[in-house]
Copies of this chain bind each other. A is one copy, B any other.
């Protein structure tokens, strides 16, 4: 089974690629440049594909930043600080982002006769992001099957191996697979090092702590996450 994986260069999606490659199922890594504030993570996506000997494509969608500009990730809004699972994190939602990426990745997969796509939705995302929930993934898989009957190779799969696993669980899996954590990027702010204060930095640091795995990340503010998690 050949899978096209969506990899941003963050720790979840890089671990996803390693997980698929470990099972001999990774055929192609696709990344999206939809006008993120910074593209540092794309460098880590490219390194990941290279390491795993997979094809890598970056798909540019230059017009989407403006059109989908309710979001702090692509617009001028401030990046909210604090724990990820808070109301303020809703400002980081790019509307329908996962469906957009999955539908394009599925087109790529069908064009090259791969039989599925994968994304790194995990249990910690369910609260804020409806498009990371299992019911969404199953509904989209159904639409992918019905929309490509006779064109996809057999029945088309939407693989979500982490959808019921926490981010700490992903650290466990990645540690076992030898994921080089320093070659993953989480921070939304995009400085020289991880800021330590934005939602994904807090979530990243917490996941390493919960998994009891050494966190090799350099954070500008290395202690903020403990306060944010307590709050």
CA distance A109 to B147 in the complex (A): 22
Cβ-defined contact, B94 with A107, below 8 A: yes
Cβ-defined contact, B67 with A63, below 8 A: no
Cβ-defined contact, A144 with B99, below 8 A: yes
We find that the number of chain A residues with CB closer than 8 angstroms to chain B is: 47
Q: How far is the CB of A148 from chain B (nearest CB, A)?
A: 6
Binary B-proximity of A45-75 (CB < 8 A = 1, otherwise 0) = 0000000000001111111100111110000
Residues of B within 8 A of A59 (CB): 61, 63-64, 67
Cβ-defined contact, B104 with A130, below 8 A: no
Binary B-proximity of A125-148 (CB < 8 A = 1, otherwise 0) = 000001101011001101110111
Cβ-defined contact, B96 with A107, below 8 A: yes
Cβ-defined contact, B131 with A68, below 8 A: no
Binary B-proximity of A98-122 (CB < 8 A = 1, otherwise 0) = 1110111011111100000000000
CA distance A150 to B181 in the complex (A): 33
Is A77 located at the chain interface by the 8 A CB criterion? no
- The dominant DSSP class at the A interface is helix
Cβ-defined contact, B64 with A104, below 8 A: yes
Is A226 located at the chain interface by the 8 A CB criterion? no
Cβ 8 A contact of A143, one of B57, B58, B140:
B140
Cβ-defined contact, A111 with B130, below 8 A: no
Residues of B within 8 A of A68 (CB): 107-108, 111
Cβ-defined contact, B103 with A96, below 8 A: yes
Q: Which residue of B lies closest to A75 (CB)?
A: B111
Interface residues of A in 141-162 (CB under 8 A from B): 142-144, 146-151
Is A95 located at the chain interface by the 8 A CB criterion? yes
CA distance A71 to B112 in the complex (A): 11
Q: How far is the CB of A225 from chain B (nearest CB, A)?
A: 26
CA distance A139 to B150 in the complex (A): 17
Residues of B within 8 A of A94 (CB): 107
Cβ-defined contact, A111 with B63, below 8 A: no
